[in-house]
C-alpha cells in the first residue's frame, strides 16, 4: 500500500513538473510568469510537503498539502499602508453615501427626505436623480452597517441611519403612488418607473422604461430592515409608519404584486439599454419573492402566500430552463440571451445579481435560489470578464502580472464612456464587486466550515492564484476544511481579492473621490462624479473582507512560510 502511494506521488509530481518543460524550454502552464529558479524551488517545496491521495471511486483528487500560492503569503512589507488606506477609504465612502441622501446629506437642497441621489453631477452627465435600483442597493449598505454595530443601537449615529432608512421607506410610498410614463398607480404599472426627480416628482422625458428590477430590490431592502428591527427589538420611530405590518401591507405587498404580475414580461436592463429578459432582473425578483413568502407567513397573509409560492416556482423554473441564461456549451451566465450573436453574454450584472440575491447568513438562499457564488457558471462569468478586460483596457497592460486583479467594466461590448458613445471604460462598481465576490466566497467557506470542493469547470478560476493545473483529469478536487491546502488556497483567495482593491487605490482621486468610471487609457476619473453606487460597492467589498478575515481568525488560521 505504501509503495503504491509512493509510486502515485512520484508519477503525479513528474506529470506536474513535466508541464514546465518542452524540449528543455520552460513554459507557462499556470498562467503566470515563473523563472527557472522558481520552478526549481517549486519542485523542492513539493518534494518536501506534498501529501495527496486520490479516490478512484468517484474520480476525485483530494489534496491536503502541497498547494503553492501565486502570492508571497508571508510578505507583510506593504500591508500596513494598504490596510491604513482601506480603513480611510472605507470611512470616506460611507460618509459620501450619507452625503447623497436627502434629509441627512450635508449639501443637498430641495431633495426629498429619504431620496438617494445617484450623483451630485447635474451636467455632462446629469445624474441628479433618484433611481429606484440605486436607492435600494444604497440603503442596504446602511442596514448592513446597523447590523454590524447592533451594540450601538441607541447612539445618535445609529438613530440617524434609522431615520434615513425610514425616510426612504416613506419617500418610496410617495413614489409608488405617482402616475408616470410607465403607467398609473391604479394599474400597478407605474412601479416599473426607473427614476424620479429629486423632489419626488415624475421624470417625464424619454427613457428606457419600464425597468422591472426596482420593486424587487426595494422589497429585499425593506424586508431586511424589518428583520433588523425585529431581531434587535427596536420600534419604528417615523410618525408616518405606524407598524411593520403597515409597511408590509401598504408598501412591500404592492411591490410583490408587481413582481408576481411582471416577472414574465420584458423590460430594460440595469444599464438601461436593452428591452428584454435579463439575469440580474430575474434573479433579484426571485429573491424578492422568497423574502415575500417569509413575510406573508409572518403576517399570516395566506391567500397572498399562495400567489407568491406559485410565482416563485414559475420564475425559478424560467431561470433554470426556459430563459436561456445558462447554455450547456457556454461556461458562464448569459446576462441577456436575446443578444446572442451580438454580444458574448458576459456582463458584470450577472455578478451583481448573484451578490444581491444570496444572503450568506441565510442558508436557505443557497438552496432555493440558483446561481450562488459557488456556482460554476457564476465563477465562469467573473473569470470570463477578467480574461477579456485584462487585454481590452490598456491600463491593465501595465500590471504585467496576469495573476493580479484588473480594472473591470460592465461588459466587453460597452461603448458608453460616461458622457457619450465611444469606448467603454472600467467602472468602480464592477471592480469592487469582483473583490466582494471573492471575499464572500472566502467568508462562506469558513462560516460553513466546508471542505473546498473545486469542480472541473472551476479549475480555471482557482488556477489563477494557486498551482492547480487546469488540465488535470479528475472531475473534482477536494481540499478538506482546515487542511494546509485549504488554508493556503483561501489565503490566496483573499490576496486575490485585495489585488482588485489595489486597482481601485490606483485610480481613486485625491480626497478619496470616486466617479462612475475611470479612463481605459489614462486611469483618470470619468463620468458622473461622486457616484453613490461606486462608494457603496467599495464599502460593501471591504465589509466582506473584514468579515472573511474575522472568520479566519475565529478558526485560528495561521500558515507559516
Q: CA-CA distance, 287 to 353, in Å (whole number)?
A: 10
Cell numbers 409572518 correspond to 298
Asked if the bond preceding 210 is cis, omega within 30° of 0, the reply is yes
- Which residues make beta-bridge pairs with 55? 60
Q: What is the DSSP string of 429-463?
A: HHHHHHHHHHHHHHHHHHHTT--EEEEGGGHHHHT
Cell numbers 483528487 correspond to 61
For 197, phi then psi, to 5°, come to: -70, 160
Q: Please answer whether residues 51 and 479 qualify as being in contact, where contact means their C-beta atoms are separated by less than 8 angstroms.
A: no
Q: Which residues have a Cβ under 8 Å from the Cβ of 357 and sit 6 or more positions away? A: 283, 284, 286, 287, 365, 369, 371
Q: Given 166, 269, 498, 516, which residue is catalytic? A: 269
Q: Given 179, 272, 359, 457, which residue is catalytic? A: 272
**Hey, is 90 helix, strand or coil?**
helix
For 380, phi then psi, to 5°, come to: -60, -35
State how far Cα 553 lies from the chain centre: 23
Cell numbers 488556477 correspond to 463
Cβ neighbours of 87 (radius 10 Å): 12
Q: CA-CA distance, 109 to 99, in Å (whole number)?
A: 11
Q: Which residues have a Cβ under 8 Å from the Cβ of 152 and sit 6 or more positions away? A: 158
Q: Could you confirm whether 294 is annotated as catalytic?
A: no
Q: What's the Rg (C-alpha) of the chain?
A: 24
Cβ neighbours of 28 (radius 10 Å): 11
Cβ neighbours of 60 (radius 10 Å): 14
Q: Please answer whether residues 482 and 513 qualify as being in contact, where contact means their C-beta atoms are separated by less than 8 angstroms.
A: no
Tell me whether strands 21-22 and 52-55 are parallel, antiparallel or unpaired.
Answer: unpaired
Tell me whether strands 267-268 and 275-276 are parallel, antiparallel or unpaired.
Answer: antiparallel
Q: CA-CA distance, 249 to 243, in Å (whole number)?
A: 10
Q: CA-CA distance, 68 to 82, in Å (whole number)?
A: 24
Tell me whether strands 60-63 and 476-479 are parallel, antiparallel or unpaired.
Answer: parallel
Q: Could you confirm whether 269 is annotated as catalytic?
A: yes
**Hey, is 235 helix, strand or coil?**
coil
For 251, phi then psi, to 5°, come to: -125, -60
Active-site residues: which are they?
A: 269, 272
Amino acid at each position: 500500500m505504501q509503495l503504491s502511494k509512493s509510486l502515485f506521488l512520484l508519477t503525479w509530481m513528474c506529470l506536474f513538473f513535466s508541464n514546465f518543460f518542452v524540449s528543455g524550454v520552460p513554459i507557462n502552464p499556470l498562467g503566470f510568469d515563473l523563472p527557472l529558479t522558481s520552478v526549481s524551488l517549486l519542485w523542492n517545496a513539493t518534494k518536501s510537503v506534498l501529501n495527496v491521495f486520490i479516490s478512484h471511486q468517484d474520480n476525485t483528487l483530494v489534496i491536503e498539502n502541497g498547494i503553492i500560492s501565486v502570492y508571497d503569503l508571508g510578505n507583510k512589507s506593504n500591508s500596513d499602508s494598504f490596510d491604513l488606506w482601506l480603513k480611510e477609504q472605507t470611512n470616506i465612502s460611507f460618509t459620501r453615501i450619507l452625503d447623497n441622501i436627502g434629509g441627512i446629506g450635508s449639501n443637498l437642497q430641495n431633495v426629498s427626505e429619504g431620496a438617494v441621489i445617484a450623483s451630485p453631477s447635474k451636467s455632462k452627465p446629469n445624474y441628479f436623480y433618484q433611481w429606484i435600483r440605486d436607492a435600494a442597493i444604497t440603503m442596504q449598505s446602511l442596514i448592513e452597517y446597523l447590523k454590524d454595530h447592533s451594540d450601538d443601537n441607541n447612539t445618535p449615529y445609529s438613530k440617524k441611519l434609522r431615520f434615513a432608512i425610514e425616510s426612504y421607506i416613506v419617500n418610496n410610498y410617495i413614489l409608488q403612488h405617482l402616475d408616470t410614463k410607465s403607467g398609473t398607480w391604479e394599474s400597478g404599472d407605474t412601479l416599473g418607473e426607473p427614476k424620479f426627480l429629486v423632489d419626488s416628482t415624475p421624470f417625464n422625458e424619454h427613457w428606457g422604461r419600464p425597468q422591472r428590477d426596482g420593486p424587487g430590490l426595494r422589497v429585499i431592502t425593506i424586508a431586511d430592515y424589518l428583520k433588523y428591527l425585529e431581531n434587535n427589538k427596536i420600534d419604528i420611530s417615523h410618525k408616518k409608519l405606524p407598524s411593520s405590518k403597515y409597511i408590509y401591507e401598504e408598501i412591500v405587498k404592492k411591490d410583490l404584486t408587481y413582481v408576481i404580475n411582471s416577472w414574465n414580461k420584458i423590460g430594460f436592463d440595469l444599464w438601461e439599454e436593452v428591452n428584454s429578459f435579463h439575469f440580474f432582473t430575474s434573479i433579484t425578483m426571485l429573491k424578492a419573492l422568497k423574502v415575500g413568502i417569509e413575510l406573508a407567513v409572518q403576517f399570516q397573509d395566506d391567500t397572498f402566500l399562495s400567489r407568491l409560492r406559485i410565482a416563485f416556482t414559475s420564475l425559478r423554473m424560467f431561470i433554470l430552463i426556459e430563459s436561456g441564461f445558462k447554455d450547456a456549451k457556454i461556461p458562464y451566465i448569459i446576462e441577456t440571451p436575446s443578444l446572442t450573436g451580438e454580444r458574448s453574454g458576459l456582463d458584470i450584472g450577472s455578478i451583481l445579481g448573484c451578490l444581491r440575491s444570496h444572503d450568506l447568513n441565510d442558508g436557505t438562499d443557497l438552496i432555493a435560489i440558483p446561481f450562488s457564488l459557488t456556482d460554476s457558471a457564476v465563477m465562469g462569468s467573473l473569470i470570463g470578464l477578467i480574461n477579456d478586460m485584462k487585454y481590452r483596457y490598456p491600463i491593465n497592460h501595465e500590471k504585467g502580472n496576469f495573476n493580479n486583479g484588473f480594472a473591470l467594466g460592465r461588459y466587453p461590448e460597452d461603448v458608453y464612456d460616461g458622457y457619450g458613445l465611444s469606448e467603454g471604460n472600467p467602472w468602480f462598481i464592477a471592480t469592487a464587486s469582483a473583490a466582494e465576490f471573492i471575499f464572500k466566497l472566502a467568508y462562506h467557506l469558513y462560516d460553513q466550515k466546508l471542505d473546498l470542493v473545486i469542480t472541473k469547470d472551476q479549475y480555471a478560476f482557482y488556477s489563477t492564484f494557486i498551482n492547480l493545473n487546469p488540465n488535470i483529469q479528475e472531475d473534482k478536487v477536494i481540499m478538506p476544511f482546515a487542511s494546509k491546502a485549504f488554508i493556503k488556497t483561501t489565503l490566496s483567495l483573499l490576496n486575490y481579492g485585495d489585488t482588485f482593491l489595489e486597482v481601485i487605490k490606483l485610480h481613486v482621486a485625491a480626497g478619496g473621490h470616486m466617479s462612475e468610471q475611470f479612463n481605459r487609457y489614462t486611469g483618470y476619473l470619468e463620468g458622473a462624479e461622486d457616484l453613490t453606487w461606486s462608494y457603496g460597492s467599495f464599502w460593501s467589498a471591504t465589509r466582506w473582507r473584514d468579515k472573511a478575515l474575522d472568520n479566519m481568525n475565529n478558526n485560528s488560521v495561521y500558515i507559516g512560510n
